[in-house]
Amino acid sequence: MKVAILYGKETLRIEKREIPAPGEGEVLVRIKTALTCGTDAKVYLRGGHPRMITPPSPFGHEFSGEIVKVGKGVDRWKEGMRIMAVNSAPCFSCYYCKREEYSLCEDLLFLNGAYAEYLLIPERIVRYNVYPLPDSLSFAEGAFLEPFACVLHGIEKIGVKTGNWVSVIGCGPIGLLFLLILKAKGTRVIMIDRILERMEKAKELGADLVLMGKEGVEEGVRNITPQKKGVDISIEAVGNPSTWEQSIKLVRKGGKVLLFGGCAPGTSFTLDTHFLHYHEITVKGVFHHTPPIVKRAYEILRDRIIDVQPLITEKLPLEELGKALQNMIKKSGIKTAILP
Ligand SMILES: [Zn+2]
Ligand SMILES: [Zn+2]
């Protein structure tokens, strides 16, 4: 089978490997669609990720496919079933898991290797985080389970109410997924970016206002909110200390800020202590997803409460993965469906 192997910074090779055989509790999946993701672009640029992937390693974590073989003891899944899944599962026994804070698990098992013809899913993920892909969803739509679960995790942590005013900095794949679920929840959404193509997409997907992310954007946001107070909730979906700072300036008194985008290791940012204190601002960091969230994300996709199809702007074969990642780095297009 063909597998993309990440060797380090911007070094990637498509290699031939043996098709693995599933052991006890495992399933072997023929990948039908793998999606490019901002995290993969970062990993490709930086040559790894402290928590998720150490090269040389197979690569890619958003996928859907068809089961071709199941290991001993697997009875829920059969050959030929279409599935969607996520890239990790917690241990359910550590300090954090016992407190049901599964995204903080000390032994989170990560799965990489979606950019390949076949992928072996480990027993723990088979047990907790694999779902049947309904006939009504395409493989490409099913592959959104992982990124959408991350977004839904953020939405549930920050607590969104119908009628809220929400701003989102970043109109990349994650920012746009936030937009889709926020509109489904009946909020007013202001989207902010600097790339016209992405701003256009946000407009197309129902943003109430799209603003250029330049100086003075705080005023633009305030001006459209009731009594020019600012938004109830501000979300950062870029992963840059300067946009982290900016996102905090957009909320009204009593407002909440969700810092979703992961910044480079070792970076920091500044907070105005008086603003935070006297305006009673809540600032929340968020990471990854949990099995209960994955289940709810699955139900939302299955019931077509959001339509993720418009986020796929290109389809490419596995051989052109390098090009797809370069496009992601250049912020051209939204998501590429890799078809191995
Ligand atoms: Zn991802
Ligand atoms: Zn754990």
pLDDT digits (tens, 9 = 90+) for 52-90: 888 999 999 999 999 999 999 999 999 999 999 999 999
> In the chain, what are the domains?
2-144+308-339 (3.90.180.10), 149-285 (3.40.50.720)
User: Phi and psi for 315 in degrees, rounded to 5?
Assistant: -125, 130
Tell how strand 165-169 and strand 231-236 pair up. parallel
- Kindly identify the ligand whose nearest atom is closest to the C-alpha of 94: 2
Would the pLDDT of 213 be above 90? yes
Centre of ligand 1 from the C-alpha of residue 299, in Å: 19
How far is it, in rounded angstroms, from Cα 203 to Cα 192?
A: 11
Rounded average pLDDT over 86-100: 98
How far is it, in rounded angstroms, from Cα 288 to Cα 44?
A: 19
How far is it, in rounded angstroms, from Cα 281 to Cα 232?
A: 10
Residues, the chain: 340
3-state helix, strand, coil in the chain (%, to 5): 35, 30, 40
- What CA–CA distances, in Å, run from 292 to 47, 101, 129? 31, 11, 9
Structure letter (DSSP) for residue 280? T
Q: Which amino acid is at 326?
A: Q
The encoded tokens of residue 145 equal 């389970």
Tell how strand 2-8 and strand 11-16 pair up. antiparallel
Q: What is the pLDDT of residues 272-321, one digit of tens each?
A: 999 999 999 999 999 999 999 999 999 999 999 999 999 999 999 999 99
Query: Where residue 51 falls among pLDDT bands split at 50, 70, 90?
Result: confident
How far is it, in rounded angstroms, from Cα 277 to Cα 293?
A: 31
Rounded average pLDDT over 165-184: 98
DSSP secondary structure of 116-135: BSEEEEPHHHHHHSEEE--T
Centre of ligand 1 from the C-alpha of residue 38, in Å: 7
Residue pair 293/153 in contact (Cβ under 8 Å)? The answer is yes
Query: Where residue 263 falls among pLDDT bands split at 50, 70, 90?
Result: very high
The encoded tokens of residue 258 equal 């969700």
Centre of ligand 2 from the C-alpha of residue 41, in Å: 27
Burial (Cβ within 10 Å: 0-12, 13-18, ≥19) of residue 95: exposed
Centre of ligand 2 from the C-alpha of residue 157, in Å: 19
Q: What is the pLDDT of residues 245-259, one digit of tens each?
A: 999 999 999 999 999
Query: Where residue 2 falls among pLDDT bands split at 50, 70, 90?
Result: very high
- Kindly identify the ligand whose nearest atom is closest to the C-alpha of 35: 1
Q: What is the pLDDT of residues 117-146, one digit of tens each?
A: 999 999 999 999 999 999 999 999 999 999
Centre of ligand 2 from the C-alpha of residue 99, in Å: 9
Its pTM stands at: 0.97
How far is it, in rounded angstroms, from Cα 160 to Cα 166?
A: 9
CA angle 197, 231, 255 (to 5 degrees): 130
pLDDT of 215: 84
- Kindly identify the ligand whose nearest atom is closest to the C-alpha of 124: 2
Would the pLDDT of 38 be above 80? yes
The encoded tokens of residue 99 equal 């407190």
pLDDT of 294: 98
The encoded tokens of residue 289 equal 């997803």
- Using omega within 30 degrees of 0 as the cis cutoff, is the peptide bond preceding 56 cis? yes
How far is it, in rounded angstroms, from Cα 256 to Cα 249?
A: 11
Residue pair 293/128 in contact (Cβ under 8 Å)? The answer is no
Centre of ligand 2 from the C-alpha of residue 290, in Å: 11
Query: Where residue 40 falls among pLDDT bands split at 50, 70, 90?
Result: very high
Q: Could you tell me what percent of the chain has a pLDDT over 90?
A: 94
- What CA–CA distances, in Å, run from 153 to 159, 164, 188? 10, 18, 20
Mean of pLDDT over the chain: 96
Tell how strand 312-317 and strand 335-339 pair up. parallel
Would the pLDDT of 266 be above 80? yes
Centre of ligand 1 from the C-alpha of residue 144, in Å: 9
DSSP secondary structure of 297-330: HHHHHHTTSS--GGGEEEEEEGGGHHHHHHHHHT
Residue with tokens 């089961």: 67
Centre of ligand 1 from the C-alpha of residue 135, in Å: 23
pLDDT of 84: 98
pLDDT of 70: 98
Q: What is the pLDDT of residues 140-166, one digit of tens each?
A: 999 999 999 999 999 999 999 999 999
Centre of ligand 2 from the C-alpha of residue 219, in Å: 43
